[in-house]
Structure 1
Amino acid sequence: MNIFQLQESAWQRLQGRRAQLPHALLLIGQRGVGKFELARAFAAGLLCEAPGMDGHACGQCSACNWLGQGNHPDFRLVQPAAMSDEEAEADEETGKKKPSQQITIDQVRGLDDFLHVGTHRQGVRIVLLHPAEAMNRNTANALLKSLEEPRPDTLFLLVSSEADRLLPTIRSRCQTVEVPLPSPQAATAWLAAQKVSDGGRWLALAGGAPRLAAELAGSGQRGLLDALLGQLQKGRQLDPIAAAALIEKTLKADKSGALTMKRTVEWLQKWSADLALVAEGLPPRYFQADGATIGQLAASSSTIKIINFNRLLIKFKAQSEHPLNLRLVLEELFFAYRALY
């Protein structure tokens, strides 16, 4: 089972636009549902010289070979440098600063020559921009000029997990295709096919998004999760100083870069969300296996306290990329958490 079988409805909606392509499509949906894979496959099918009846690329023609090698003359992928392994490795080797997490204005301006030359074999020209929310206002305004005056035979494919962060003027110039969450049964089956153990747990932690669940399961998150849950389950009995020391040690011991302060705050946000749900008599969404413990903790707190704590987490997440003192930040978080009970 591949990701397209989980998103058959979205794939068919994309195929419905082949006969009369708009100048811009915006694929939206929760992170980890397969939006980028769908967009890439749709682009491949449009560029393919012999696509199948289902719209998929043949994988054998010259166009497919060029695309596979990353040098198709009518395709450009625009994404943050940090998402490009080659650029990130080059920066590490040359000692340059960390690659950008944003799509830069220079990347968008660099499309000018590409957009103003004829297409190869009179086909379609495609710009795939992912993730679209990685553009700042200046970059988005630079892209807007191309969207407002579209070139013939040109398709912009924008992919976004946070469409509300896009400029309204960008969204208004795109036709939107929603990529929904697949059914839990189909997503669990897909995870099993990917050899992900305990797929149901990771699927719940990912909010039902199968690609994100597979990413989390394979990124060494289990150690951080186990350490964090061991502390959060203590409620009022939590020792904030000891908890902060343990989580700091866990984060610093990781050499892969997958365990970060930002990820820690995200897990806290999901735990807090489940506390709020259970406090209102609803089932937990993320930590389903810990429902009983969450129920006991929620009974000794209040929805207002939990909501205020979540507001604090939003502030800390915004600062989590560059905490001035990791230990102090963690201590403050755990003291605020203990105060819930």
Structure 2
Amino acid sequence: MNVLKLHDKVWNGLQARRERLPHSLLLVGQKGLGKFELAKRFAASLLCESPLDDGQACGRCLACNWYSQGNHPDFRLLQPDALADEAEVEDGKKKPSQQITIDQVRALDDFLNVGTHRAGLRIIVVHPAEAMNRSTANSLLKTLEEPAPSTLFLLVSNESLRLLPTIRSRCQVVPVAVPQPKVAEQVLFDDGVTEAARWLALAGGAPGLALELAASGQGAWLELLIKRLASGRNADPLGMAGELEKTIKESKGKLLLKAVIEALQKWQVDLALAKNGLPIRYFLPHQATIKGLADMIPAIRLIHFYRDLIKRRQEAEQPLNARLFLEGVFLDYRALFAN
């Protein structure tokens, strides 16, 4: 995905900081905009020994070669083990951590106390920054408060309000906005995505998420969910829960329970928009169906259902019985249509 085309103004702003870099930058914006890729591109450009005219890394020098192989001596990436490319859960083995651990932060001590290669810059990317618990964040805060010379922290966050205020106050914030739909659609088209407008709408305008949805085979379970939700008062909550639980298990970790709830939240938003005579935002091909369903639901029930789904989204992160959880969610959905 061409993140520089999507966020050319952000990239130019980052390049303008090269001469007087702060100790830490915080890239913020909704999930799926390409912030992490931007941070990595910027890190590569700063470490490159012969950057191009637009600031991009040359891709040919020794530093670029080290960086592309993941072993540049002046670069570190802090992210949850679950996000590592090789993180695949085998039966009977402990699942990779979903958090950045305090041990990962402490491991930076030796890195920060050794001189940089060729007297250059030392860079640490933290992604996503909200994956740090309070202890981990406080450990990192000590480093941000007394930064080592020639060191840049690049923090990337989808939910910056979850960060400690003291962490945010030590960083210069770089907002990354949702790109223009036409630009995002063209970037997706260039990546071979068909029905780019549909996927982009479902992703809330985030091209990275749209690309992930289009390429990951999630269309099948989404279509199944949409078909069942479209049944309205005739929906079978127990059957729906069984089908979705089976799909989640068969995905072997690729489909998470929270993704189902997030899709239902988007469906609820579209119902609310249609109820108020506004264009829907997410499920564009199903506008007529959603409008018909919205006409059957009292507005106050949609408000209550919205609040309930916020709680359900939080509960979906915790260990639970997925089948019972989904049954409760879909029973609440069918209750929207009760006389």
What is the TM-score with the length of structure 2 in the denominator? 0.95
Range that drifts further, 317-326 or 273-282: 317-326
Q: What is the SS of the residue equivalent to 1:146? A: helix
Determine the C-alpha separation between the residues in 1 that align with 2:100 and 2:297: 42
Contact 1:224 1:259 in 2 (8 A): no
Q: Distance in 2 between matches of 1:271 and 1:149?
A: 47
1:247 offset after TM fit, Å? 2.3
Q: Is the 8 A contact 1:4 1:38 kept in 2?
A: yes
State whether residues 108 and 139 of structure 1, in contact with CA within 8 Å, keep that contact through their aligned partners in structure 2. Answer: yes
1:210-251 CA-partner distances (Å, limit 9, x unpaired): 111011111121111111111111111212222222323333
Aligned to 1:302: 298
Counterpart CA distance in 2 for 1:79 and 1:325 is 28
- Once the two structures are superposed, residues 26-61 of structure 1 have per-residue CA deviations (whole angstroms, 9 ceiling, x without a partner) of 001111111111110111111111111111111111
Question: What are the residue-to-residue correspondences of 1:144-223 with 2, within 5 Å?
Answer: 144-223=141-220
* 1:137 matched to 2:128: no
1:339 corresponds, among 331, 335, 339, to 335
Aligned to 1:26: 26
1:275 and 2:271 correspond: yes
Write the distance in 2 (CA, Å) between the matches of 1:180 and 1:169: 23
Q: Which runs of 4+ in 1 moved over 6 A?
A: none
Does the 8 A contact of 1:221 with 1:258 survive in 2?
Answer: no
Contact (CA 8 Å) 1:309, 1:336: kept in 2 or not?
A: yes
Stretches of structure 2 that go unaligned for 5 or more consecutive residues are none
Correspondent of 1:238 among 225, 235, 239:
235
Aligned to 1:125: 122
TM-superposed deviation, 1:329 = 1.7
**Structure-2 separation of matches of 1:260 and 1:118:** 43
Partner of residue 258, structure 2: 262
Q: Which whole-Å deviations, capped at 9, do the CAs of 1:79-118 have from their partners, x for residues lacking one?
A: 00111123x25x749x641110000011011101111111
Provide the C-alpha distance between the structure 2 equivalents of 1:319 and 1:19, rounded to a whole number of angstroms.
Answer: 46
> What is the CA RMSD across the aligned residues, in angstroms?
1.6
The gaps in structure 1 that reach 5 residues or longer are: none
Q: Which moved more, 1:202-211 or 1:278-287?
A: 278-287
Structure 2: distance between partners of 1:58 and 1:271: 44
Letter in 2 for 1:38: L
Aligned length: 337
Q: Secondary structure, in 3 states, of the residue corresponding to 1:85?
A: coil
Matches within 5 A, 1:5-20: 5-20=5-20
Counterpart-to-counterpart distance in 2, 1:83 and 1:253 = 20
Q: TM-score, normalised by structure 1?
A: 0.95
- Structure 2 Cα separation of the partners of residues 81 and 307 of structure 1: 37
Deviation digits for residues 287-317 of structure 1, max 9, x if unmatched? 1221111111112213321121122222222
> 1:322 deviation in Å?
4.6
Q: Which amino acid aligns with 1:76?
A: R
